[in-house]
Amino acid sequence: MTNTAKTRADAELLKSGALTTDRIQSLGDNIFGFAMTLLVLNFLVPELGNGMSLGSELVTLVPAFLTYAMSFIVLGMMWVSQQNQYHFIQRSDRLFLWINIVFLMFVVFVPFSTHILSLYHTSALAVLLYGLNLIICGALLYWHWTYATENDRLVNTDIEKRVVQVIKIRYVFLIIWVGVSVALAYFSIPLAFFLFVPALMLGVRPTTIDRFSHWWLS
């Protein structure tokens, strides 16, 4: 077999390891839907004994309700962020597929870390576990974007370089913010939760981060 034939064979085998972005997005949609559904399974219907009221039992579930809402929004942010990337990403390859798979593995872990946080919301270790879960997901999304856009590997060459950089800064900014919040949990858990709120707001509407990014890049 000639070197040319080997090169062509390797190229065909490489293509066979890639999927269309539609297939990748479809898998992601299903995984995110599954993870969001799992969040509600953290709730257990209270069993009332003698002298117990439903109202008082529901009050004890307030931390679970809050962590459920927070994590549902976080998963929504991750899903929107990944979908926004596919506005620019046109192709895939084998490594890109595995970046996606590892990312989705940690997405499915969010319901577990959420449940731990709801049960032990006064524990700094529980906050650390939850925060690390989010940080790893954010770092994998950053890698997902960086790998796809490096030398226009999986995107069209007409993409604005500033767009690539602004989206990278979004991830870095939020990863650092969550990291600081988690670190502060060892001094004040209420403060850590308080700092999660603006992180959620900035993630849902990243315009403020984008303005900062344009200033930073100018």
> What is the rounded distance in angstroms from the CA atom of residue 108 to the CA atom of residue 104?
6
Give the model's pLDDT for residue 217. 82
Which residue in 181, 59, 193 sits closest to 132, CA to CA? 181
> What is the rounded distance in angstroms from the CA atom of residue 130 to the CA atom of residue 116?
8
The CA–CA distances, whole Å, from 190 to 71, 81, 174 equal 17, 28, 19
Tell me the three state secondary structure of residue 89. strand
Return left, alpha or beta for 51; rule: phi > 0 is left, psi -120 to 50 is alpha, else beta. Answer: left
Q: What's the pTM? A: 0.86
For residue 157 the two structure tokens come to: 């060459």
Residue stretches of the chain with pLDDT short of 50 = 9-10, 13, 16
DSSP 127-155: HHHHHHHHHHHHHHHHHHHHHHHGGGSSB
For residue 121 the two structure tokens come to: 């919301």
Mean pLDDT of the chain: 85
Find the Cα–Cα–Cα–Cα dihedral 129, 135, 140, 145, rounded to 10°: 160
What's the pLDDT tens digit per position in 13-54? 455 455 678 888 999 999 999 999 999 887 766 666 666 677
Beta bridge partners of 89: 155
Q: Measured on CA atoms in the order 203, 204, 209, 214, is the torsion positive or negative?
A: positive
